[in-house]
């Protein structure tokens, strides 16, 4: 089974070709260029290197968000168009889930955290046995409340923190170390904190994961800032 995987949920654009759980190739750009500028050239270049065409894929994998509203829409729209044209199935995963899958070699708790602005984060908490991850919960909340929650629930366990939030709020994550067994509290490096389309290779796919292009929806977790501002205006009337 051959899959084309895409992630455009953050600044990084990533595409990968996966066959029978093996990564055949991957390309990534972590630049300020928009995803509308980056994505299709990446896909075309990778398929060219592997001598593939869209019709060669059995299915398509895509990150459903949360993250950049525009980026998520571009990734989903591309995959939906491919699947509609070729009749292939679609598999989706959250941004935090992909981060955890890419770090599943860690045995213990994985905390994936992405910036949701205004000192809030989209987060996912997972348990990993070094190969398979199990989701505990995913949500959005203020960073301070999340770190307190994690400390109260998992301070006796080995935890790996990953995601762009570590780069944006480094002092908050470093401060938590003072209350933890330092050998059991690990902060991911820059490489650990990137979401990769190839992480779909770590997902054990069953028919229950398969969707049609019509079933694929964005998972923003909350309204955009513009929508929240509009709601406030309505409430003020």
What's the N-to-C CA distance of the chain in angstroms? 55
The whole-angstrom separation of Cα 91 and Cα 81 is: 14
Can you give the pLDDT at residue 39? 96
Compute the 3-state secondary structure of the chain and give helix, strand, coil in percent, each to the nearest 5. 40, 30, 30
If one counts every other C-beta atom within 10 angstroms of the C-beta of residue 147, the result is 21
Domain contains 119: yes
Enumerate residues 6+ apart whose C-beta is below 8 A from 66. 9, 72, 94, 95, 114, 116, 122, 140, 219, 220, 221, 222
Q: Is 177 helix (H, G, I), strand (E, B) or coil?
A: helix
Q: Is 30 helix (H, G, I), strand (E, B) or coil?
A: coil
Can you give the pLDDT at residue 190? 87
Whether 109 and 145 share a structural domain: yes
Whether 168 and 125 share a structural domain: yes
pTM of structure:
0.91
Can you give the pLDDT at residue 209? 87
Domain that holds residue 105: 99-187
Q: What is the CATH number of the domain that holds 136?
A: 3.30.420.40
Can you give the pLDDT at residue 230? 57
Can you give the pLDDT at residue 116? 95
Intervals of the chain under pLDDT 50: none
């Amino acid at each position: 089974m051959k899959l084309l995987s895409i992630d455009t949920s953050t600044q990084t654009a990533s595409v990968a070709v996966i066959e029978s759980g093996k990564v055949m190739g991957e390309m990534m750009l972590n630049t300020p260029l928009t995803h509308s500028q980056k994505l299709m050239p990446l896909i075309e270049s990778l398929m060219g290197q592997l001598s593939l065409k869209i019709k060669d894929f059995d299915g398509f994998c895509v990150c459903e968000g949360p993250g950049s509203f525009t980026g998520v829409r571009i990734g989903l729209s591309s995959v939906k168009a491919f699947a509609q044209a070729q009749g292939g199935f679609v598999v989706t995963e959250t941004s935090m889930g992909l981060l955890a899958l890419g770090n599943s070699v860690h045995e213990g708790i994985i905390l994936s955290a992405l910036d949701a602005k205004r000192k809030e984060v989209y987060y996912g908490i997972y348990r990993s046995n070094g190969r398979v991850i199990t989701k505990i919960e995913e949500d959005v909340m203020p960073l301070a409340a999340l770190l307190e929650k994690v400390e109260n629930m998992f301070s006796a366990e080995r935890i790996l923190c990953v995601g762009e939030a570590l780069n944006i709020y480094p002092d908050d994550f470093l401060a938590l170390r003072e209350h933890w067994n330092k050998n059991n509290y690990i902060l991911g490096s820059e490489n650990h904190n990137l979401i990769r389309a190839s992480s779909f290779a770590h997902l054990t796919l069953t028919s229950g994961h398969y969707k049609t292009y019509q079933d694929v929806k964005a998972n923003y977790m909350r309204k955009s800032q513009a929508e929240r501002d509009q709601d406030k205006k309505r409430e003020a009337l």
